[in-house]
Structure 1
């Protein structure tokens, strides 16, 4: 069964450590990771909190990256294409030996958080063993199996999924709304407060699952 893994790794063992050390308060968000036919890792990376001149200077001395190319600029966000060298050993192992898909990655303050889709649960062990043998740090924070039920696939509890499903079917998310919070709570046979909290936590789970927020969350039944 396929599994989604979220874990952290220090930048000094991963990518862009030298660049991030000289660029304070800068965020990196990998939108897509592509492996070329030659085995080169070519990510598209959003960089926030700096300008093109400072980024170019910082990346020029970073051994984990080469062939930096600016693709787009939107307000304070810059989209770059680059090549990650063989120094980015964990990613190369994930893409090749474990046949994983890096769904997204987020870097800030000397740490990276990765969300990785493994085709089978056993493939996760290959990455863990590789890190152990190479003296690398990959701290797994969450493993979620891609179960058949929709709630499991999106990291929601059954109650959260049901609340979202009913809310959508009854027009709660339409503009203007076709049902208010009190009516929706009655339909689900729970209190207004319980529904409000359930929806808020469901939103938080979906946003984190889609956008990769590095903070922890409480996944207990609600």
Structure 2
């Protein structure tokens, strides 16, 4: 049965890692469905960096064979890249075990990836291949086969608080509802409401949801 896994790994453990190591403000966003290996051309967005700096980093990467700037939108640049045939590390570990990168991003010196494998045996083989190659990662979640929704990740009180806050306009700019009004609605203190919101946001952001890109 298909299995999905969320991973966090150091910036240098994945191609394009130099962009993250040399520029802590850089943000690399992979397209939602990204093929791996040297047969297909993956696409990725880079934010918060000049074209000159980005391309100088790409030129220094041994994994990158060719690259092309496709478009620019504000401070976001869309690139297409072809990997060299001797690419090693996590990418061939994914490809050799029939895996696919569903989505991913690189920010603050680390990568967050969502991978899909045909079954548990392939996922186990992928993990062993990474260990043998010295690739270390943290597993944030394993789903079989569906990724839990935002609601499933929160407690009932957290979900209710976030839903009501959204409906009343607490997250809008400018706000249509205050923390005091939310506290009155739930009959609790402002501190209690604030803690629920902070804990809910922490839960949602600590395990990246990889929502579809809305560019």
TM-score (normalised: structure 1):
0.68
1:157 paired residue number: 155
SS in 2 for 1:15: coil
2:104 paired residue number: 104
SS in 2 for 1:72: strand
Q: Deviations over 1:131-180 (max 9, x none)?
A: 123x232321522545666523xx43333222112333455456776654
1:130 paired residue number: 129
1:52 paired residue number: 51
Work out whether residues 35 and 101 of structure 2, in 8 Å CA contact, stay in contact via their aligned partners in 1: no
1:185 paired residue number: 183
How far did residue 195 of structure 1 move?
0.6
TM-score (normalised: structure 2):
0.70
Work out whether residues 100 and 117 of structure 2, in 8 Å CA contact, stay in contact via their aligned partners in 1: yes
CA distance in 1, matches of 2:166, 2:19: 45
5+ residue gaps in structure 2?
none
- Say what the alpha-carbon RMSD is for the aligned residues: 3.7
- Is 1:9 the counterpart of 2:10? The answer is yes
How far did residue 114 of structure 1 move?
2.1
CA distance in 2, matches of 1:14, 1:57: 18
2:39 paired residue number: 39
Q: How many residues align?
A: 204
CA distance in 2, matches of 1:91, 1:100: 10
How far did residue 64 of structure 1 move?
0.6
2:114 paired residue number: 116
Against the structure 1 CA distance between its residues 85 and 105, is the aligned structure 2 distance closer, same or farther, given a 3 Å change threshold? farther
5+ residue gaps in structure 1?
213-222
1:69 paired residue number: 68
1:216 paired residue number: none
1:90 paired residue number: 90
CA distance in 2, matches of 1:119, 1:91: 13
CA distance in 2, matches of 1:15, 1:142: 20
